Amino acid sequence: MRVLVTGGAGFIGSHIVDRLVKMGHHVSVVDNFLTGSKENLNEKAKYHEADISDLEDLDRVFSEEKPEYIFHVAAGYLVQSLENPQRDAKTNIIGTINIIQLCLKYNIKKVIYSNSGGASYGNPQQIPIPETHSIHPLTPYGASKYAGELYFDMYYKNHGLKYTSLRYGNVYGPRQRPELEGGVISVFLDALIKKQNPVMKSDGTPVRDYIFVDDVVDANILAMSHGDGEAYHVASGKGTSVLELYGILQKVLNTNINYVLGKPRVGDPQKAIFDISKIKKELGWEPKVSLEEGTRATAEWLKNRKND
């Protein structure tokens, strides 16, 4: 099967590429390396350095690769969206519209869309959060990512373009770059490994739903053949406060380093735990990797990365 992964040199995208290659698919990748890394490239996949917001360049890739399925993972990131909402919209909205137009032009069978659960709902009125919860994003990133889902839904209903939207919890794991400030686990672990005091951008009480990247990949693969026109949470269904998380990381690294308090980040809800009953029932998916097991694997990757 011919598959194209946008953002395939990035954190989540590169793991999807590795799995697809392992399954024997013909895999091609589009990435502009803004947040992706050439260290993540799988030698058995074909790479195109291109920006999804450039329709002409993207059309060339579709024409050459003739993909059947698209994993649309390419995106900006939350911190960037706060600093430059125009660039965020160009990537997450214009880029997604370009993908949709080319999917129609080249008769793509299906798109699996990587969306954000944590950034979409704002301050939730219900815990755990169901997929039917109202959408009130607090950041440009959350707004632009959900806009992408709306576009896919519109083209599914009007033009029959099949898609599944996967709304992620707080994804973490190897290849999550701490310098991008997107994942608290990689940021904290990186500081602790360097014997530095991590900066906690809250009072430690916010609760998050952490999900390991391998579990996210499992959901993406299942979505190739399930859930047309649907949105699903990909999360653990369990809440962990930042202070509880910090204790787990201290245990994993067998260290005792104090954190320092920093300025709270704009747009972070106090509590986000996701209802995952829908994806369990309809896709047969459930998380397999515990938080301690996943953070241990992430720590090992970060340690090895520092020794490169």
The verdict on 101 and 203 lying in the same domain is no
Which domain range does residue 268 map to? Answer: 173-208+238-275+288-306
The verdict on 85 and 201 lying in the same domain is no
pLDDT in tens, 23-32: 999 999 999 9
pLDDT in tens, 265-280: 766 778 999 999 999 9
The verdict on 192 and 125 lying in the same domain is no
Please indicate, yes or no, if residue 280 is contained in any of the structural domains.
no
- What local confidence, expressed as pLDDT, does residue 266 receive? 67
Hunting for tokens 């329709």 — which residue is that?
55
The verdict on 26 and 126 lying in the same domain is yes
pLDDT in tens, 103-131: 999 999 999 999 998 788 988 999 999 99
CA dist 66 and 284 (Å) reads 30
The verdict on 114 and 190 lying in the same domain is no
- What local confidence, expressed as pLDDT, does residue 269 receive? 79
40 pLDDT tier (thresholds 50, 70, 90): very high
Please indicate, yes or no, if residue 270 is contained in any of the structural domains.
yes
Q: Which one is predicted more confidently, 82 or 31?
A: 31
- What local confidence, expressed as pLDDT, does residue 308 receive? 44
Please indicate, yes or no, if residue 58 is contained in any of the structural domains.
yes
Annotated active-site residue in 77, 141, 155, 210: 141
182 pLDDT tier (thresholds 50, 70, 90): low
From residue 6, give the alpha-carbon distance in Å to each of 17, 44, 190, 256.
10, 16, 27, 40
Query: Catalytic annotation on 141?
Result: yes
Q: Are 221 and 103 in contact (CB under 8 A)?
A: no
CATH of the domain at 203: 3.90.25.10
Please indicate, yes or no, if residue 260 is contained in any of the structural domains.
yes
Rounded to the nearest 5°, which phi and psi values hold at 208? -130, 165
* Out of 18-22, 62-66, 94-98, 203-207, least confident range: 203-207
The verdict on 157 and 247 lying in the same domain is no
pTM: 0.95
Range list of H helices, the chain: 11-22, 55-65, 78-83, 85-89, 95-105, 140-159, 184-193, 213-223, 242-253, 277-283, 291-306
CA dist 242 and 252 (Å) reads 15
The verdict on 81 and 69 lying in the same domain is yes
pLDDT at 173 over 90: yes
Please indicate, yes or no, if residue 281 is contained in any of the structural domains.
no
Please indicate, yes or no, if residue 283 is contained in any of the structural domains.
no
Count structural domains, the chain. 2
The verdict on 161 and 252 lying in the same domain is no
Please indicate, yes or no, if residue 282 is contained in any of the structural domains.
no
The verdict on 53 and 201 lying in the same domain is no
The verdict on 36 and 108 lying in the same domain is yes
The verdict on 227 and 180 lying in the same domain is no
Average pLDDT over residues 219-230: 98
Please indicate, yes or no, if residue 78 is contained in any of the structural domains.
yes
CA dist 79 and 1 (Å) reads 36
The verdict on 6 and 115 lying in the same domain is yes
Q: Which residue, 210, 75, 211, 207, is CA-closest to 143?
A: 75
CATH of the domain at 130: 3.40.50.720
- What local confidence, expressed as pLDDT, does residue 270 receive? 84
Q: Which residue, 53, 67, 24, 17, is CA-closest to 148?
A: 53
